Amino acid sequence: MTVIVDNGKCIGCGACIVECPLEALDLIDGIAVVNPEKCKDNGSCVEVCPTNALALDKPAPSVTEKEQVPVEAGSKKEFNKDEPLPESVQDYAQDNPRKIVKPKEAKPKDPNGWSGVWVVVEYNHGEIAPVSWELMGEGRKLADDLGCELASVVCGNQVDHVITEALAYGAEKVYVIDDPVLEYYRSEPYAEGITKLVQKYKPEIMLMGATAMGRDVFPAVATKMQTGLTADCTVLGIDPDTNLLLQTRPAFGGNIMATILCKKHRPQMATVRPRVMKMPERIEGREGQVIREELGIKEEDVFTKVVEFIKADAKSVFLDKAEIIVAVGLGIGSKKNMSIAEELAEVLGATMAGTRGAVEAGWLSHDYQVGQTGTTVRPKLYISIGISGAIQHLVGMERSDYIIAINNDCDASIFRVANYGIVGDLNEVVPAMTAEMKKRLQFGVAN
Amino acid sequence: MHYLICLKQVPDTSEVRIDPETNTLMREGVPSIINPYDAHALEEAIRLKESFGGKVTIICMGPPQAKEALKKAMSFGADRAILLSDRSFAGSDSLATAYILTVAIQKISETDPVDIVLCGKEAIDGDTAQTGPGIAQRLGFPQLTYVIKIREIDQGWITVERKTEGGREVAKAKLPVLLTAEKELNDLSYASLPNMMKASAYDPEVWDIKALPCDPSQMGLKGSPTSVSRIFAPSAKTGGEILDGTKDPTIVAGNVVEKMFQQNMIMVDPLAKGGK
């Protein structure tokens, strides 16, 4: 006589818990659990479940039957299908017309005036993070789908050249706060400045790179605005029916993809993983409107100071931030042979790394170990030399954008995750690759 | 000094998978652990307490069985552990979670003001890294995220090293402050036997909605602006191309390098003049 939960399908979103008028559901260990003493099978939870994880134990009772169900004292409300649907169900109905048939209305522009797609440009220590421009490309598509404007936000000290770049990458407007307090990135003044712009100009969507800076400032802005923020998205889109931003991101360590919505709060905010979106074309001399605002914060009122910035090169960069990695395993044979891999890394400006075996052999320090007991990496390119591919190693590198593997054993598991694998003697193959790279890269790598 | 740790109990995510055929979560028998980054935050607090003296309080929001994570955490030498558990907290997104944790920290601070809040940089089941900064914002504390080293605490200011894409940043902030911990912050120690015995007898306090004056409209599902609309399995990585490099290694290596350039795995810098 109770609702049945399919534990495999339940994602623990809790929609059913809010919906149940009898408070018969609980979220236990991330799964909805029905309290059989309270559940009266009224079915409201079944309707709202986004993954169809809930089912009635028996066919839905008729209205007359339902009227006979005694409602416990203190329960908030009784479900009655003649009453208007609860708000959250109505929302859901718009996304899923299959389940609850409701006439679809064309969505007008946001009635409260939230409009436009904004990309916050990451500019710090004199450098612009490339993900800022990747997002201009993606932002263009979203703005076109919505029929709205694409704008950039530039914060910093003496940023005129950044404004020029933002226009070249397609901004129709650039919102600027240029102030000496913004010389280096710090959470408080940046969050304050961006929030000021948001409150005044009301963008519908805001994007920023999912970098140390984007993931530091956006949560602060979202909290100030009391709106939703989705971290580290890899796919964005606009729902054609609701005009909502579809924010898709990996969850549970990348084993699952989830699409997140921010239905009622504005702006809809997302940080986006670098190197996922395509870099748009840069057109020199493009023009647009530049809107400047004051920061209005004095240095003495900021309680964070940047003391020093120690810039990393390929050898000292944190492994999980490296763009190109050359990794070695025990197959390389000896410490002397490390030079084969090091020469390739040198040509590519790559960071060296190794398996647990290579680290235990003393060829590299533990800081450069990739895998379960080391670091999980996600570079653009991972070149694996003499690595067989134990599962503990694979979990630490399989989400690299591209994997090239060189190993003499054609059955090595590393080949299962490689885009290109070369079966052969690394002493021959790797130097040949290095020589070919040298020829092509005489003018340097663009990463 | 009063150090406060925000800790989360998480499923060991390396073992959570989605069944590609039924499109459902497979989590039978997945063990629960203390979120690894939170363990480093706790370790650092214990070390600070050992150097400078003070007190370590742990808070954790979760279901009743998260008490186990708190008992485990106590065995490393913390002084107090509080579980924030109420069915109305369930379904909170990062905005709502930060709200509930902030209300708890404010309540604790009424009798015992907190100087340093330490969180893990993110939880491994959600990877959002948003709850820590959300708490700092609500408390009005400066935030130092992605901390890999605490250099010093002196005259009411803390100096740390932070991990960023371009390198390491040395920054300082005025106490009270909120830090989020990277794994590089420290190496985890083992619990001592006396602490383990103390922890096994310890019963964490449990605060429900009656104990915490939370605004119902800001917590749980109702207080969460974001919602999951769909889950699916990521597209499986298609098998790559395996080439035989035993006979003619130079040619095969050359072909692969060619493909690496064609597919933009490596890009030639058009602006660079001269060799690297």
CATH number at residue A42: 3.30.70.20
Q: Is B191 left (phi over 0), alpha (psi -120 to 50) or beta?
A: beta
Contact check, Cβ <8 Å, A259/B230: yes
The pLDDT value recorded for residue A93 is: 39
Looking at the structure, do residues A252 and A134 belong to the same domain, yes or no? yes
Backbone angles phi, psi at B51, to 5 degrees: -80, -45
- Cβ–Cβ contact B208 with A under 8 A: no
* Angstroms from A29 CA to nearest CA on chain B: 7
Partner-chain residue, chosen from A11, A254, A347, that has the shortest CB–CB distance to B234: A254
Q: Span A438-442, mean pLDDT?
A: 85
Q: Locate the chain B residue with the closest alpha carbon to A394.
A: B14
DSSP 8-state class, residue B23: T
Of B25, B144, B241, the CB nearest to A11: B25
In a domain, A412, yes or no: yes
pLDDT at residue A104 greater than cutoff 50: no
Among residues A250, A271, A301, the one where a domain terminates is A301
For residue B55, the distance in angstroms to the closest alpha carbon of chain A comes to 24
pLDDT in tens, A82-93: 444 444 444 443
If asked whether residues A284 and A330 sit together in one domain, one would say: no
Provide the residue range defining the domain that includes A426: 319-440
- Integer-rounded Cα Rg, in Å, for chain A is 27
CA–CA min distance B206, chain A (Å): 16
| Residue B26 binned pLDDT confidence (cut-offs 50, 70, 90) | low
E strand or H helix that includes residue B144: strand B143-154
Nearest to A420 among B98, B231, B240 (CB): B240
Q: What Cα–Cα distance (Å) separates residue A77 from each residue in A19, A34, A300, B215? A: 10, 18, 54, 21
Least confident interval from A67-81, A269-283, B79-93:
A67-81
Report the residue of B67, B87, B228 to disrupt the A interface, i.e. the one with the largest count of A CBs within 10 Å: B228
- Distance between B185 CA and the closest CA of chain A, angstroms: 12
CATH (domain of B13): 3.40.50.620
Residue B242 near chain A (CB below 8 Å): yes
Tokens of B268: 């030639």
Cα(A255)–Cα(B16) distance, rounded to whole angstroms?
7
Mean pLDDT, all residues of chain A: 86
CB pairs < 8 Å spanning A and B: 343
Euclidean distance between CA atoms B1 and B45, whole angstroms: 10
Does some domain include residue B17?
yes
Residue B265 domain-assigned?
no
In chain A, how many domains are there? Answer: 3
Same domain, A156 and A291: yes
Among B30-34, B169-173, B232-236, name the most confident range: B169-173
B-chain residues near A219 (CB < 8 A): 94, 129-134, 137
Report if residue B236 sits inside a domain.
no
The sign of the dihedral angle between the CA atoms of A182, A188, A194, A195 is negative
Residue A48 has a pLDDT of: 75
Q: Which of B143, B230, B243 faces A421 most closely, judged by CB atoms?
A: B243
CB contact under 8 A, B226 and A395: no
Q: Which of A102-106, A129-133, A390-394, B188-192 is the least confident region?
A: A102-106
Render pLDDT for B84-100 as a digit per residue (tens, 0 to 9): 999 889 889 999 999 99
- Residue A78: pLDDT band with limits 50, 70, 90: very low
Distance from CA of A1 to the nearest CA of B (A): 23
Q: How far does the CA of residue B172 sit from the closest CA of chain A (Å)?
A: 5
Q: Is B229 inside a domain boundary?
A: no
Asked whether the beta carbons of residue A27 and residue B63 sit closer than 8 angstroms, the reply is yes
- Which residues in chain A have their CB less than 8 angstroms from residue B164's CB? 211-213, 321
Q: Write out chain B residues lying below 8 Å of A188, CB-based.
A: 142
Q: What is the CATH number of the domain that holds A166?
A: 3.40.50.620
Considering A274, A301, A328, which residue would you say is the last residue of a domain? A301
Number of domains in chain B: 1
Same domain? For A294 and A340 the reply is no
CB A422 within 8 A of CB B253: yes
Q: Which ipTM score applies to this complex?
A: 0.91
The larger pLDDT score, comparing residue B221 to residue B185, is at B185
Integer Cα distance of A217 and A186 in angstroms: 8
In a domain, B133, yes or no: yes
Under the banding of pLDDT at 50, 70 and 90, the label for residue B28 is: low
Extract the tokens encoding B153.
């605490």
Q: Can you give the residue range of the structural domain that contains B194?
A: 2-218
Q: Do A28 and B174 touch (CB under 8 A)?
A: no
A209 shares its domain with A244: yes
CB within 8 Å: B133 and A187: yes
The maximal CA–CA distance of chain A, rounded, in angstroms, is: 84
Let me know if residue A379 belongs to a domain.
Answer: yes
Q: Is residue B40 within 8 Å of B182, Cβ to Cβ?
A: yes
For residues A337 and A69, give the distance between their C-alpha atoms in angstroms, rounded to a whole number. 78
Q: Are A55 and A7 contacting, i.e. CB atoms less than 8 angstroms apart?
A: no
Best of B137, B266, B271, B273 to disrupt the A interface (most A CBs within 10 Å) is: B266
Do the chains contact at B130 and A219, CB–CB below 8 Å?
Answer: yes
Closest Cβ–Cβ partner in B169, B257, B261 for A306: B169
| Same domain flag for A290 and A325 | no
Neighbours of B273 (CB within 10 A): 7
Q: Mean pLDDT, to the nearest integer, of B33-37?
A: 95
Query: Which residue from A minimizes the CA distance to B19?
Result: A8
- The answer to whether B265 contacts A432, with C-beta atoms less than 8 Å apart, is no
Question: What is the DSSP code (8-state) at residue A129?
Answer: -
Find the CB nearest A8 among B24, B65, B168.
Answer: B24
- Cβ-Cβ contacts under 8 Å, A231 against chain B: 94, 126-130
What does the DSSP 8-state code read for residue B239? P
**H/E segment holding residue A195:** helix A187-201
